[in-house]
């Protein structure tokens, strides 16, 4: 399943992600955007820390984006870092569902 999932828009977590975990279905998020690394690397590492996520779409229109995606594989966020990144999240109206 492909979905919009990032630190700014996380509405899929409410119902879809628990169902995907239960059914063993993978999620491929797109649009995923301190610790001495770029925000892009942190955002991708955050995506990869989710057990539902198997292959985030990088949008590799530039070499730097590929380098950031590779760097994210080596960045393991702690529980405290994950909580810090997720703390300011405010729910949004869902779009694409009518």
Domain ranges of the chain: 2-86
CA distance 24 to 81: 27
What mean pLDDT is reported for the chain?
79
Percent of the chain with pLDDT over 90: 8
Predicted pLDDT at 79: 92
Selected residue with higher pLDDT from 39 and 72: 72
Residue for token pair 């690394």: 37
- Residue 9: how many CB atoms within 10 A of its CB? 16
Question: Is the per-residue pLDDT at 36 higher than 50?
Answer: yes
Model confidence at 4, pLDDT cuts 50, 70, 90, reads low
Average pLDDT rounded to a whole number, residues 52-58: 79
Half-sphere exposure of 30 toward its Cβ, with a 13 Å CA cutoff?
6
**Secondary-structure percent of the chain, ordered helix, strand, coil, rounded to 5:** 45, 10, 50
């Amino acid at each position: 399943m492909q979905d919009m999932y990032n630190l700014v828009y996380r509405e899929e977590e409410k119902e879809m992600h628990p169902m995907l975990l239960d059914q063993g279905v993978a999620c491929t998020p797109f649009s995923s955007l301190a610790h001495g690394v770029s925000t892009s690397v942190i955002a991708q590492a955050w995506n990869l820390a989710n057990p539902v996520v198997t292959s985030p779409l990088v949008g590799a229109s530039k070499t730097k984006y590929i380098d950031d995606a590779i760097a994210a594989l080596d960045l393991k966020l702690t529980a405290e870092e994950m909580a810090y990144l997720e703390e300011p999240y405010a729910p949004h109206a869902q779009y694409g569902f009518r």
